[in-house]
């Protein structure tokens, strides 16, 4: 069982959360010429890192906020959590 510290609610069990994937993926900017490759990278291509990985989770059965979580994908250790609008340093 993972325990994730929601920046809004505190430490909660994994059961309350839903996963949203790689948090480092950025949507291409609107109103600009966007190449197919840019869209590919946004929609499909993923680094899927082994080790430390910033990812999005939603506290679905809690405050329903999206948050960012830094987790090790090989050991499941969680290092850090941020609100969705906070930048990854």
CB of 36 to another protein, least distance (A): 6
Query: Nearest-CA neighbor of 22 among 49, 44, 54?
Result: 54
Task: For another protein, give the closer residue by CB, 7 or 58.
Answer: 58
Contacting residue, 8, 28, 40, 64, with another protein by CB under 8 A: 40
Assigned token pair, 7: 């920046």
Quick check: 45 binds another protein (CB under 8 A)? yes
Distances (CA, A) of 33 to 18, 36, 38, 47: 33, 10, 10, 24
Query: CA 69, CA 73: separation in Å to the nearest integer?
Result: 11
Site residues for another protein per CB under 8 A: 1-2, 14-15, 18-19, 21-22, 36-37, 40-41, 43-50, 53, 55, 57, 71, 73-76
């Amino acid at each position: 069982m993972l325990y994730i510290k929601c920046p809004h609610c505190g430490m909660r069990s994994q059961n309350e959360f839903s996963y949203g994937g790689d948090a480092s993926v950025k949507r291409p900017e609107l109103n600009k010429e966007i190449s197919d490759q840019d869209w590919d990278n946004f929609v499909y291509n993923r680094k899927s890192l082994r080790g430390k990985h910033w990812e999005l989770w939603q506290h679905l059965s809690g405050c329903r906020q999206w948050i960012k979580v830094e987790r090790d994908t090989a050991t499941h250790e969680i290092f850090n959590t941020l609100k969705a609008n906070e930048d990854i340093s």
